[in-house]
Amino acid sequence: MAEPFDPRHAARLDDPDRLDYQPVADVLGLLELRGDETVVDYGAGVGYTTVPLAAALPRGRVVAVDRSAELLDELCRRVTASAAGRAPAATAPVDLVHTTENRVPLPDAGADAILTVSVWHEIYDDQSALDELRRLLAPGGSLAIIDWAPVERPVGPPAARILTLEQALAVVASMGLTATVVRPAGTLFAYYYAIVARASGPLA
């Protein structure tokens, strides 16, 4: 069974080297945003991607979801501080959602895109979380998965706690999604694989 992230290790999410080995622009680039979408940042943590997402969605909305109230408290501080430094029209509203039973208060197909960064290895065997992501994703919408790969690296969880790219793709297929972008570790990111999977149907 997947091992949950321990909020006491939150400082690891702020590793300054991360900006080099996982540039946020490359993460967000996978979503090919127009700027008016509703994007769920699932397992947002303290917001490595949440605040940049809000800045990339001047006409959209971010729903930042986490099961850790402690991490969401810190994220709330960061979102508030970031919004204070910008013109209001330049930043999407960020709704913070504390999930206790994998329920996200959005309607069916309410997410144009869902981003999961370093989360897939924590939820791949949690069927109710996967069902909720599938419920949320709009027809034509994208689920982006960026997660640790079993390669030699100085950071991140041990290989026994993560998935291979093939295992991650099998979970995506079990959700009825089609992988349209597959980037093994060493191509886009040195330590992570990246997958973009689409729900069938017309793009909104």
Ligand X SMILES: C[S@@+](CC[C@H](N)C(=O)[O-])C[C@H]1O[C@@H](n2cnc3c(N)ncnc32)[C@H](O)[C@@H]1O
Q: Which is nearer to ligand X, 65 or 172 (CB)?
A: 65
SS3 53: helix
**Residue 142 DSSP one-character state:** E
Least Å from the CB of residue 72 to ligand X: 9
Interface with ligand X, residue 118, by CB under 6 A: yes
Which residue number, 65 or 194, has a Cβ lying nearer to ligand X?
65
Site residues (CB under 6 A) for ligand X, limited to 125-154:
126, 129
Sheet holding 61-66, edge to edge: 94-98, 61-66, 38-42, 111-117, 137-148, 192-198, 178-183
| Residue 63 lies near ligand X (rule: CB under 6 A) | no
Q: How far is the CB of 52 from ligand X (least distance, A)?
A: 11
Q: List the interface residues with ligand X, window 24-43 (CB under 6 A).
A: 43
DSSP secondary structure letter of residue 33: -
Buried b (16+ CB within 10 A) or exposed e, 6-28: ebeeeeebeeeebeeebebeebb
- Say how many CA atoms lie within 13 Å of 196 toward its Cβ: 16
Shortest reach from residue 150's CB to ligand X, in Å: 16
Q: Interface residues for ligand X in 72-91 (CB under 6 A)?
A: none
Q: Report the candidate in 107, 101, 115, 91 with the shortest Cα–Cα distance to residue 29.
A: 115
65 makes contact with ligand X (CB under 6 A): yes
Query: Which residue among 61, 67, 172, 192 contacts ligand X (CB under 6 A)?
Result: 67
Binding site for ligand X (CB under 6 A): 4-5, 13, 43-45, 48, 65-68, 71, 99, 102, 117-119, 122-123, 126, 129
